C-alpha cells in the first residue's frame, strides 16, 4: 500500500485522523489507531493556554506509548509565545508539531490565531522556523485562503520555511461544510511543492480515499471518523480489495466501550465530552434517537459503561 514519510516518521499507511476539538483526545486517538489510522493529532491547543498551564489543556496534551506517531496541534497570535513554549513542547514526547492555520471560529479569530494566520503568512513562516530551529518535525494545516484563495503562495512559503509536510483542508476560512471541498487546489499545490501534501475535506469512504491518494500523499479524515473509528479499517480494506464494506453498529459500539475503558484509565475526559462523543456512536440503527436521549440522562462514567455494556449484550 502506498504510504509516505513526514521528516523521519514513516507512516504505516496513508490514512490520518484529523485534529478535532472535543473529539481527538487520547482515548479517541487510541481507538482510531486500533482501527488503522497511521497518524493522529491532539485537538488544536492555543500556545497561550499551554503557557498558562491550564488544567484542561494539560489533559488534552496527554499522550502515551501506544499513541504514536503523535502530532500536537498548536496555534497562537505571537511569535514570542512560540519561542517561550518550546521547553514545554520538548517535555511532551510528540513526534511532530502541527501549526493550525485553518480554524475559523470567532474565538480563535479574535485571538488572531487559526485561519487568521492565513492573512499573515510571514507569521506562519516565523513559527515554522522557530520549531525547526529547535529540532521539531513541523507541519502546517491550512485552508485555501482567508477570504481570497492564496493557497499556492502560502504553500510555497511554508515549504521554503522548512516545513516537513502540509495538510490542506480544501475550503476558504469562511466556507461552510455545505460548500464542497475543492480538491483541484490540493492537486495544484502537490504539483508545485516538494514536501508531502495531505489532502483533507469530505472523505467518507474507500473510493474517495483512492481519488484523494491519486493527487496527494496522504488522506486525512475528520467528520466521518466521529463516532465511527472503524472507517479507517473499512477504507484500508477497500485500498487492499476494492470492496466497500458497510457501517456495522455492533462492531462500532464495541469501540465506544473500549473508549470508555481508556477514558477511565487515562482520566482525560469529562462527562459532557464523553456524552458528546458517545452520542455520535448511536446512529444508523433503529431506536438511535431514544438511545441518545437515554445516554444524556446518565450521571457518571460507570452509568454510561453499564448502558453501553447492556447494548453489547443485546446485539
Ligand atoms: C468537531 C470538529 C472539530 C474540529 N477541530 C479541529 C481542530 O482542532 N484542528 C483542525 O485543524 N481542524 C479541526 N477541524 C477541522 C477538521 O480537522 C477538518 O479539516 C474538516 O472537518 C474537513 O475534513 P472532513 O471533511 O473530513 O470533516 C474540526 C472539525 C470538526 C468537525
pLDDT score for 196: 98
Cell numbers placing 48: 497561550
pLDDT score for 315: 57
Q: Annotated catalytic residue: which of 32, 64, 101, 103? A: 103
pLDDT at 1: 83
103 a catalytic residue:
yes
**pLDDT value for 314:** 65
Ligand 1 mutation pick, 16, 18, 103, max ligand atoms within 8 A of CB: 18
CB-based contact 216:186 (threshold 8 Å): yes
Contacting residues for 87 by C-beta, under 8 A, at least 6 apart: none
Which pLDDT belongs to residue 2? 81
- Distance separating alpha carbons of residues 238 and 243, to the nearest angstrom: 5
Q: Which residues contact 67 (CB under 8 A, 6 or more apart)?
A: 26, 29, 30, 33, 40
Contact 33, 69 (CB under 8 A): no
Cα–Cα distances in Å, from 299 out to 27, 204, 276, 279?
20, 33, 14, 15
pTM of this prediction? Answer: 0.97
Closest protein CA for atom 29 of ligand 1: 20
Contact residues for 32 (Cβ-Cβ < 8 A; gap 6+):
17, 24, 40, 225, 229, 232
Q: How many H helices and E strands in the chain?
A: 15, 11
Cβ–ligand 1 distance for 46 under 6 Å, the answer no
Please state, as a whole number, how many other Cβ atoms lie within 10 Å of the Cβ of residue 21: 15
The pLDDT assigned to 21 comes to 97
| pLDDT score for 312 | 83
Whether the CB of 223 sits within 6 Å of ligand 1: yes
pLDDT, mean of each 10-residue run, the chain (315 residues): 94 98 98 98 97 92 98 98 98 96 97 97 98 98 97 98 98 97 98 98 98 98 98 98 94 96 94 97 94 97 94 72
CA distance 242 to 160: 38
Amino acid at each position: 500500500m502506498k504510504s509516505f514519510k513526514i521528516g523521519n516518521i514513516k507512516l504505516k499507511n496513508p490514512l490520518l485522523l484529523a485534529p478535532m476539538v472535543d473529539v481527538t483526545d487520547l482515548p479517541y486517538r487510541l481507538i482510531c489507531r486500533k482501527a488503522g489510522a497511521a497518524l493522529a493529532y491532539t485537538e488544536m491547543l492555543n500556545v497561550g493556554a499551554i503557557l498558562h498551564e491550564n488544567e484542561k489543556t494539560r489533559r488534552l496534551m496527554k499522550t502515551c506509548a501506544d499513541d504514536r506517531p503523535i502530532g500536537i496541534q498548536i496555534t497562537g497570535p505571537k511569535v514570542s509565545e512560540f519561542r517561550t513554549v518550546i521547553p514545554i513542547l520538548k517535555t511532551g514526547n510528540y513526534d511532530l508539531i502541527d501549526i493550525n492555520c485553518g480554524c475559523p471560529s470567532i474565538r480563535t479569530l479574535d485571538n488572531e490565531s487559526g485561519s487568521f494566520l492565513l492573512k499573515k503568512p510571514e507569521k506562519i513562516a516565523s513559527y515554522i522556523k522557530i520549531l525547526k530551529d529547535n529540532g521539531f518535525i513541523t507541519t502546517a494545516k491550512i485552508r485555501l485562503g482567508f477570504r481570497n484563495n492564496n493557497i499556492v503562495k502560502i504553500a510555497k512559503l511554508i515549504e521554503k520555511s522548512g516545513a516537513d509536510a502540509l495538510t490542506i483542508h480544501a475550503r476558504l476560512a469562511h466556507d461552510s461544510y455545505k460548500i464542497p471541498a475543492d480538491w483541484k487546489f490540493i492537486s495544484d499545490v502537490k504539483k508545485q511543492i516538494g514536501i508531502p501534501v495531505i489532502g483533507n475535506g469530505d472523505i467518507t469512504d474507500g473510493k474517495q480515499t483512492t481519488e484523494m491518494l491519486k493527487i496527494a500523499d496522504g488522506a486525512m479524515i475528520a467528520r466521518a471518523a466521529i463516532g465511527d473509528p472503524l472507517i479507517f479499517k473499512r477504507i484500508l480494506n477497500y485500498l487492499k480489495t476494492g470492496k466497500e464494506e458497510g457501517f456495522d453498529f455492533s462492531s462500532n459500539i464495541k469501540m465506544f466501550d473500549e473508549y470508555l475503558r481508556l477514558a477511565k484509565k487515562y482520566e482525560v475526559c469529562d462527562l459532557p465530552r464523553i456524552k458528546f462523543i458517545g452520542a455520535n456512536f448511536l446512529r444508523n440503527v433503529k431506536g438511535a434517537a431514544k438511545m441518545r436521549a437515554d445516554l444524556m440522562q446518565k450521571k457518571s462514567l460507570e452509568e454510561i459503561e453499564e448502558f453501553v455494556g447492556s447494548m453489547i449484550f443485546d446485539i
